[in-house]
Amino acid sequence: MKDLDLTVLFVDTIPARIYLALLKKHGYRPKKILFLEIEPASRKYQILRKCFGRLIAKTAHRLFRRHTAGPAISILSEQLLKEHGLTAQCLQADLDSYTEGPVENILVNGLDDERLLHRLRGQEPRAILFTGGGLLKEPLLKVDGIRFLHIHPGIVPDVRGADCFFWSLLLRGKAGYSTFYMNPGIDTGDIITKHEFEVDLAHLALENYSNDETYRAILNFYDPCLRIMSFIYFLNSIFSKGEFPHNKEDFDMRKIPSEKQNRAEGRMFFFIHKCLRDSVIDSLKSRKGNV
């Protein structure tokens, strides 16, 4: 197992668990997981907190979530995970099994909570992998000495914005991914690595599923696999060249060679219209090759 001098900023979502599961599967282990427990905004939770305090309200919320877990993942989602050697059980593993050190929990109202900002000012390691769960704003991105890494589903600067897995297939015929250091702009950070994948899912009998179900399954289960795999391929290339010291303390992940973007170049995309989305998915249902 290769230890990475890296903190994973973790909100408990399927994509975030896929990141950790595939890092582990391919022999990489972050030094720390900073688990953000998002405090509910519901009226019931607020009343409970006011009457009994935050600790009891938080405990009750955890128990409620444990006993009201969502339904099992769909057959299609399981098939998409299997494409990368994962199962639903892989995503349910104890978080402690993924990291070198203990998982640290922090209760916050959201990513713009002052408690998170205060915590990050003393954070080690100071290279942080962002796994999603909201929008990182400038105060966090400006914390002295911290650099956030993000894996975006599009080759920047050509494909920035939302639904870029589908825009990439539509415009480039492949699923493209860029890892970069985040800055206050939208997908405009310094580029660490780019990778494109051929996408051939025709063998999964996608025609048996509605386009809406296929869309959700790809975004939640397939796209996250490709995101983290693009970063894993980059790590593999560094290790194979002997450029990544075995002593993790000698490799500062805030200083990986990167390429600046020209913000004036490229294009920003928004959520893809359903007609275009359906066109891409219909092509996936029958294709072997480009859309």
pLDDT, residue 53, reads 74
Half-sphere exposure in the Cβ direction for 183 (13 Å, CA): 11
Q: What is the mean pLDDT of the chain?
A: 88
More confident residue, 245 or 98: 98
Q: What pLDDT band is residue 71 in, cutting at 50, 70 and 90?
A: very low
pLDDT, residue 70, reads 47
pTM of the model: 0.89
Q: What pLDDT band is residue 173 in, cutting at 50, 70 and 90?
A: very high
**What pLDDT digit, counting tens, does each position of 15-67 carry?**
999 999 999 999 999 999 999 988 766 677 677 777 877 667 666 656 655 54
Look at residue 273 and tell me whether its pLDDT is greater than 50.
yes
The whole-angstrom separation of Cα 156 and Cα 164 is 10
Look at residue 116 and tell me whether its pLDDT is greater than 70.
yes
Look at residue 5 and tell me whether its pLDDT is greater than 60.
yes
Residues 142/121, Cβ–Cβ less than 8 Å: no
**What pLDDT digit, counting tens, does each position of 217-248 carry?**
999 999 999 999 999 999 999 887 666 555 55
Domains of the chain by range and CATH? 2-286 (3.40.50.170)
Mean pLDDT of 163-185: 96
The whole-angstrom separation of Cα 119 and Cα 36 is 11
pLDDT, residue 145, reads 94
Look at residue 144 and tell me whether its pLDDT is greater than 80.
yes
In sequence order, what E strands does 2-110 have?
2-10, 28-38, 104-108
pLDDT, residue 68, reads 45
Lowest mean pLDDT, pick from 4-13, 249-258, 273-282: 249-258
Question: Residues 49-82, buried b or exposed e (16+ Cβ, 10 A)?
Answer: beeeeeeebbeebeeeeeeeeeeebeebbebbbe
Look at residue 10 and tell me whether its pLDDT is greater than 90.
yes
